[in-house]
């Protein structure tokens, strides 16, 4: 989805976030490129706030987290809402740090392997037959078209499905949380969760190692997931990600 960065500590706190904090101390955690902000509160919550997003909305995220929580560890949803200009989501904080946290730049191999293992766990545990959403190639292209984005014709010629799973939908490193010992502590940002070929997630997760850690870790993540790299599917699904 949208690239994220760590905001300055003195960033202006939106009024809605102050209301949702109910007096608790606020620490900014993430800033995305459309102005969306995430804060951690002093009483163990996360408040996610931003303008309406044409790619993924917080209502969908809350709905999918509630569904996925029956099988995997995700934040408990406390509150979700929106008005004509903004949306927000309040969750219980999980005990873990993003795999893109500066702490893991000191031990990148452990973080990358944990993300690969965590993605395989997510794929193995979430039941395809019970999932009410899809993240198929056709649905992604259709949603892109609704936003005025049209993809190259050859991306409509999809490779065969290797294994149909419930995909995370944004399996970049920041969206896996790790405990201090490197164990997977949970997954976040599930607004696009839905059924698709597992390579749709593997391609993005492995590609995100470049964004967050630099070159050389893509195949390590794929190995930790437990498969041999499928170069054709990796190329296809990375192009699809970049084009949609």
Binding residues for Mg(2+): 175, 189
Residue 182: which region, alpha, beta or left (left: phi > 0; alpha: psi -120 to 50)?
Answer: left
Q: Is 170 a catalytic residue?
A: yes
Of 60, 101, 170, 201, the catalytic one is 170
Q: Where would I find the H helices in the chain?
A: 15-21, 58-68, 102-105, 108-125, 137-146, 198-213, 218-225, 231-243
For residues 164 and 174, give the distance between their C-alpha atoms in angstroms, rounded to a whole number: 24
Give first-to-last CA distance, the chain, whole Å. Answer: 10
- In whole angstroms, give the CA distance from residue 222 to residue 107: 18
21 neighbors 41 (Cβ within 8 angstroms)? yes
Residue with tokens 């989501």: 89
CA dihedral 159, 165, 199, 73 (to 10 degrees): 160
Tokens of 202: 């593997």
- Could you give the maximum distance between any two Cα atoms of the chain, in Å? 53
Show Cβ contacts of residue 58 under 8 Å, excluding neighbours closer than 6 positions: 48, 50, 80, 82, 87, 88, 89, 191
Which pair of tokens denotes residue 149?
Answer: 């984005």
- From the annotation, which residues make up the binding site? 175, 189
Catalytically annotated residues: 170
């Amino acid at each position: 989805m949208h690239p994220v960065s760590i905001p300055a500590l003195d960033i202006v706190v939106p009024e809605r976030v102050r209301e949702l904090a109910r007096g608790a101390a606020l620490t900014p955690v993430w800033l995305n490129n459309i102005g969306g902000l995430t804060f951690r509160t002093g009483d163990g919550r996360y408040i996610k706030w931003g303008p309406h997003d044409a790619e993924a909305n917080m209502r969908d995220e809350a709905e999918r987290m509630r569904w996925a929580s029956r099988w995997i560890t995700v934040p408990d949803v406390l509150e979700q809402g929106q008005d004509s200009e903004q949306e927000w989501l309040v969750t219980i904080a999980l005990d873990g740090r993003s795999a893109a946290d500066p702490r893991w730049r000191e031990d990148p191999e452990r973080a990358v392997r944990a993300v690969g293992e965590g993605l395989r766990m997510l794929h193995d545990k979430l039941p395809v037959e019970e999932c009410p959403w899809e993240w198929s190639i056709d649905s992604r292209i259709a949603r892109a078209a609704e936003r005025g984005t049209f993809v190259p014709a050859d991306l409509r010629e999809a490779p065969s499905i290797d294994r149909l799973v419930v995909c995370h939908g944004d399996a970049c490193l920041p969206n896996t949380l790790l405990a201090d010992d490197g164990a997977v502590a949970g997954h976040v940002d599930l607004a696009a969760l839905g059924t698709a070929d597992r390579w749709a997630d593997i391609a993005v997760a492995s590609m995100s190692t470049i964004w967050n850690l630099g070159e050389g870790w893509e195949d390590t993540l794929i190995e930790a997931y437990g498969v041999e790299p499928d170069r054709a599917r990796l190329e296809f699904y990375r192009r699809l990600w970049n084009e949609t």
